Amino acid sequence: MAGDDIKTVLDEANTQAVALMLGTLDDDDVTLIYEIVGGVGPIADLAVEAMKKRNIALQRWRSSRIIPKRLAN
């Protein structure tokens, strides 16, 4: 999770790279990225935009998700 004392800044090239990456992920992974960054910052903002474009409901995802084994440790 992103800490309160850390500020993430993305330049234009990295913003485009993150947006491109989010575009290649499935819906569950996009919402997982949002959760991992704590829902704050530019990466979360890009994830929210991707979720809006795909009509992904975060609340529905939270109630039905299964945490992948690679992240459960």
In a domain, 21, yes or no: yes
In a domain, 1, yes or no: no
Three-state secondary structure call for residue 54: helix
- Contact (Cβ atoms closer than 8 angstroms) between residue 30 and residue 66: no
How many structural domains is the chain composed of?
Answer: 1
Q: What is the mean pLDDT of residues 25-54?
A: 91
Global pTM? Answer: 0.71
In a domain, 7, yes or no: no
| Domain extent at residue 57 | 12-72
In a domain, 48, yes or no: yes
In a domain, 49, yes or no: yes
Q: Which residue has the tokens 């039905």?
A: 64
Residue 27 has pLDDT above 50, yes or no: yes
In a domain, 3, yes or no: no
Q: What is the mean pLDDT of residues 30-50?
A: 91
